[in-house]
Amino acid sequence: MIPVPPPHTMPLPVTHFDNIGFWQGVKNHGLVIQKCQGCGAFRHPPRPMCPKCRSLKYEWAPSTGKGKVYSWVTYRQSPHPGFKAPYTVVLVELEEGVRVVSSLTDYPPEKIRIGMPVQVTF
Amino acid sequence: MPTIKDKAAIVGIGVTDFSKDSKRTQIHLACECILAAIKEAGLKVEDIDGMVKHTGDGADECRILRSIGGRNLNYYGECRYGTGGSSSLVLRAVMGVAAGVANNVVVYWTANDSSKRVELTYHVGMYMLSTSEAEQLSFYPPVGLITPEGQIGLIIRRYMHEFGVKDNQFGWVPVVCRENAAKNPAAIFYKQPITIDDYLKSDMIVDPIRALDCHTKIDGGMAMVVTTAERAKSLKQKPVYIMAAAQSAVQGVEMMTSYNRPVISGLPETSNVGKELFRVAGVTPKDINVAQIDDSYAPLVPMQLEELGFCKRGEGPAFCDKGSNIRLGGKLPLNTSGGSLGEGYLYNMNHIVEAVRQMRGTAVNQVKNAELALVSGGAGGPASGLILRR
Amino acid sequence: MLEEYLARKYRSETRPKAQDYLIKDKVAIVGIGQTEFSIDSGRSELQMACEAIKAAVDDAGLKMEDIDGIVKFTFDFNDETSLVNALGIPKLKFFGECGWGGGASVPTILHAATAVATGVADYVVCFRALNERSGRRYGYVPGATLTTIATNTHYGMNFPFGFMSPIAWVAMFTQRYMHEYGATSEQLGWVSVVLREHAQKNPNALFYGKPITLKDHQESPMVVDPLRRMDCCVDTDGAVAIIVTSAERAKNLKQKPAYILSVASSTATDGELMTSVYRKKISLLPETWYMGQELFRVAGVTPKDIDVIEFYDAFTPLIPMQLEELGFCNVGEGAAFCEGGKRIRVGGELPINTAGGSLSEAYIHGMNQISEAVRQIRGTSTNQVKNAELVLATSGLGVPTGGLILRR
Amino acid sequence: MAVEYFKGIPLIRPLIDLDNQGFWEAVKNHKLVIQRCKDCGTYVHPPRPCCPNCNSFKKVWAPASGKGEIYSYVNITYEKVGYPGMMCPHAVVLVELEEGTRLITNVVDMKPEDIYIGMPVEVVFEDIAPDLTLYKFKKSKGVKAKKGKR
């Protein structure tokens, strides 16, 4: 279903109205999380409305960047020319309670375990 | 209270060959299987007044109608979400005939996934993405999470962690599916059974997912005709009644990537589909004689068995262990045609068709005296399911 | 098969029995919601959808937790999973889509109504949200360029000749319609003038405060000969949502229910997306005729009983053609019916598009016509037709289409 | 006057698949063919896998006379509704062939204002790129085309 993008060395994020703040934050080396201004709930991935209180007002709150590994996979075969296998993708639960998907750097994949504390880098 | 229970029946099925390259267009496959299904039902092309399709299917109802020379359709609709869509389409057809909007609704699905002779639909034009596709492309490929194996792998890893499942415990599902496929001449893996050792030796593609955990892409098309239970009685085939059909999407759902809900090691959509199916049908998991479970990735099978109530949470891998419960003659024979792992991946459509054959008593791996069949699709995203009876 | 249509012989005996049609009087529209209509919304299509759905839920006096079904246009970029997550809907029991562009507007109501009538879902949302004018699409693939291969084989027979936009497709059969029945550009102009007149009473309309005369229409530039700029609807940013439930539940809700007398959809032989040029006769809308036959058959009323029509009107010629196909006048007489505007304006014998329609209110692919039909039934339209009891609405033309009759 | 193409803007191409490749291959060789059912002889356009009349999957590519008449036409006068690579205004015509099927196409050697419904026309081929040939129509001097069996 998803139209295949033309080949790049790395797949670039698709940016749009509702997530541009997140990617601008990343560009400036800051991890920001969408926070509802109505009820204060954090949410990710970014969306226009708060699913709890249905407020349309939100801010991009800086994250501590700290969290724990919630789950992980290791690609043994590369699915894309931009990535050299093996490499590990982690699902990190941030202190704010939301989960983000990321890569694990500077760590041997065989030592990774669920619950391991991690910190964001750019 | 209005209900769809027993209001509709499947009266015709049509199937093309399954292959690695069909050497035909999707619209060709569609015409072939639809005409076969209509003929099998003992109907004529002009009797068809409804069609439901998968959104991404390049063969659309208007072009099919132009090719096969139909009159007009009074009921047509679409649904997306891969394997979760297949039973949703049957639900749509049931609604149409039960509400008196249409007489005979064709449900079809074609794929040229293996040969990649894929045709674009009208709406997939100039690289426009739907909101969920954009969301997925925003956050996952940039960090290397590109394939569905990896996406579902994060969920499977968590399931293994929470319930202490070892990575060699999922192997019995592919073994049993291939065992069934080996006896099914239509299957892509006909006469090619595997052993548990083959499974353990197979490549780890995305740790924890092995090559033999994954479905096989094929080219092929399948169609069925749904009509009212009343009309079904006077048609050519023994009717297979649709006792219940259901679909579900739950807060936090994404296609394979529902990472932001409190618990990700379960399949809440499948759980809701199960509850609704058993509520509408008025039966319990114990009454089911044969099940066709979404096996696009083998580890999802035990998870679905748990969510559907065939065993307790965390006990799915033990239920499947050694295959004795799930093979022909066992407590709950699964995927008797070979499923996506053995017969071929046609988005669970082949699971529905196989359930129909089981109810007719014409399956190659027939479960003796099978009276009730359950179909579950869409594990890891929006889900759907069916309960069929003789 | 087209012969049957050309002879206008509807084989009602092959249709399901009218008493088996579970929707009639059993289903109602209980909530309508919309965003403002503009040429640049300044926000995402997902946000537009959320706002309109929230407004419809509030209008109905429901909670978001009550919603358990969504029907969308296939062409809408917002999919059900995103909406569930953004709106905080706990769970859906029914979801799906309707294809064929603007032809999907009424079919979304049909599918929602079948879900409600068969007990599959309780409260179903139908919606359309788009930033068609500003082009603020939700997402795009970085680096992707415009494809230079026609996106499917059918278009492949059209695109290489520059035959690639809806207005050109509609112009092709309009040319034939004008040729065969002698319809004139002035007659089509009256449709444009009357709808603009109606928009003057609707503060939400894009063309509120901008009336036109027939002379303005005749002087507006040709876009695709024979269609002028004022024969065309206006691309809009906006969203409309509608909530469907059972008549039983509707009684206890906040608004006066708009009961569904009948809702139907139809394709026709040799149909394509506005490019059904290979048919024996192309100056007609067989989809609309088939749909109309079914619509009136299950409703048990005739065109004479209809008080107001909210037509899908992406282009002016579609209105006279629909009047003919639905039996409001004879074939070939639709354009004359509209001439002078007397019969089709509010106060006339058959008021149409009381909010201004796609030509003058907004082009939300037919959903705004349905919400105006609901307002006419409720008696809350800004251009209210007195004692309107039966209102008809239609969806996109030249494609598989739909029709809806609402009653008080 | 034929359609003029802007240099530098890619040409828009047909999507060729297994059902229609015989048609486009013939066009490449400057021949116009129509799909015809091998069993019942019905002419079918655009190409499709099976015959709508008798549902046979057997078909042949029957040569067309290339003569016909204009059934309908439009004139693209506003550039935003046409393809950016094609100069506006230009006409798009619907030609009904003698065999009874119709084609969407362009015209050569005539002004848009001279086109009328019923005008007899005949096919010409234009190699607009080394790998792209299109069928177009010009005014035919012969007698008015007769309608064939559809």
- Per-residue pLDDT of B214-241, as tens digits, reads 999 999 999 999 999 999 999 999 999 9
Provide the pairing of β-strand B209-210 with B204-207.
antiparallel
Name the residue ranges covered by the structural domains of chain D.
Answer: 14-63, 65-145
How far apart, in whole angstroms, are the C-alpha atoms of residue D146 and residue B288? 66
Q: Is the pLDDT of residue A6 over 50?
A: no
First to last CA, chain D: 31
Q: Which of chain B's residues have a Cβ under 8 Å away from the Cβ of C18?
A: 100
CATH 2.40.50 fits D65-145, yes or no: yes
Which candidate in C5, C123, C208, C312 is catalytic?
C312
Which two structure tokens, joined as six digits, stand for C70?
Answer: 């969504």
Domains and CATH numbers, chain A: 16-62 (no CATH), 64-122 (2.40.50)
Higher pLDDT, D6 or B334: B334
C219-229 exposure pattern, b = at least 16 Cβ within 10 A, e = fewer: ebebbbbbbbb
In this structure, how many other beta carbons lie within 10 angstroms of the beta carbon of residue B375? 28
Give the pLDDT of chain C (408 residues) as one tens digit per residue. 788 899 999 999 999 999 999 999 999 999 999 999 999 999 999 999 999 999 999 999 999 999 999 999 998 989 999 999 999 999 999 999 999 989 999 999 999 999 999 999 999 999 999 998 887 665 555 444 445 666 666 777 888 898 888 899 999 999 999 999 999 999 999 999 999 999 999 999 999 999 999 999 999 999 999 999 999 998 999 999 999 999 999 999 999 999 999 999 999 988 888 888 888 899 999 999 999 999 999 999 999 999 999 999 999 999 999 999 999 999 999 999 999 999 999 999 999 999 999 999 999 999 999 999 999 999 999 999 999 999 999 999 989 999 999 999
pLDDT tens-place string over residues A7-18: 456 778 888 888
Which candidate in C21, C177, C259, C363 is catalytic?
C363
| pLDDT recorded at residue C284 | 94
Interface mutation target, options C50, C77, C83, chain A, most CBs of A under 10 Å: C50
Q: 3-state DSSP: chain C helix, strand, coil percent, rounded to 5?
A: 35, 20, 45
Residue with tokens 């809700």: C253
Cβ neighbors of A40 (< 8 A, separation 6 or more) are: none
Q: Is the pLDDT of residue A5 over 70?
A: no
Please give the CATH number for the structural domain made up of B148-215+243-389: 3.40.47.10
Our measurement of the distance from residue B254's CA atom to the centroid of its chain's CA atoms, rounded to an integer in Å, reads 18
Which two structure tokens, joined as six digits, stand for D56?
Answer: 């046979």
Contact C141 A49 (CB under 8 A): no
Q: Is the peptide bond before B142 cis (omega within 30 degrees of 0)?
A: no
| pLDDT recorded at residue A3 | 39
Residue C367 belongs to a domain = no
Going from the C-alpha of C294 to that of each of C16, C171, C290, the distances in angstroms are 10, 28, 6
The mean pLDDT value for A47-64 works out to: 93
Q: Is B143 on the interface with A (CB under 8 A)?
A: yes
How far apart, in whole angstroms, are the C-alpha atoms of residue C241 and residue C298? 26
Quick one: fold of B8-119+219-241?
Peroxisomal Thiolase; Chain A, domain 1 (3.40.47)
Contact B138 A13 (CB under 8 A): yes
* Residue C312 among the catalytic residues: yes
Q: What SS3 class is residue A111?
A: helix
Select from C164, C167, C225 the Cβ nearest to the Cβ of D83.
Answer: C164
Count how many domains chain C has.
Answer: 1
Q: Domain residues for C81? A: 27-131
Angle formed at CA C44 by CA C43 and CA C47, multiple of 5 degrees: 95
Q: How close, in Å, is residue C163 to chain D by CA atoms?
A: 6
How far apart, in whole angstroms, are the C-alpha atoms of residue C206 and residue C39? 8
Select from C15, C46, C137 the Cβ nearest to the Cβ of B128.
Answer: C137
Going from the C-alpha of B101 to that of each of B35, B228, C8, C18, the distances in angstroms are 22, 11, 21, 9
ipTM of this predicted complex? 0.91
Q: Kindly tell me whether chain A and chain D come into contact, counting contact as 3+ Cβ pairs under 8 Å.
A: no
Report residue A1's pLDDT band, with 50, 70 and 90 as the boundaries: very low
Q: How close, in Å, is residue C105 to chain A by CA atoms?
A: 23
Residue C114 belongs to a domain = yes
Task: Please give the order of strands across the beta sheet that includes D33-37.
Answer: D43-44, D33-37, D59-63
Which of A28-32, B369-373, C161-165, D118-122 is least confident?
C161-165
Radius of gyration of the CA atoms of chain A, in A: 16
Which two structure tokens, joined as six digits, stand for B328?
Answer: 């022909």
| pLDDT recorded at residue C149 | 67
8 Å CB contact between C354 and C308 = yes
The mean pLDDT value for B294-302 works out to: 96
Q: Is D52 on the interface with B (CB under 8 A)?
A: yes
First to last CA, chain B: 24
Q: Is B275 on the interface with C (CB under 8 A)?
A: no
Q: What is the pTM of this model?
A: 0.94
Q: Which of chain B's residues have a Cβ under 8 Å away from the Cβ of A12?
A: 142
Burial of D133 (0-12, 13-18, 19+ CB in 10 A): middle
Residues carrying CATH 3.40.47.10, chain B: 8-119+219-241, 148-215+243-389
User: What parts of chain D have a pLDDT lower than 70?
Assistant: 1, 142-150
* Residue C363 among the catalytic residues: yes
Q: Is D55 on the interface with B (CB under 8 A)?
A: yes
Q: Which of chain B's residues have a Cβ under 8 Å away from the Cβ of D18?
A: 23-25, 28, 117
Which two structure tokens, joined as six digits, stand for B179?
Answer: 């065992």
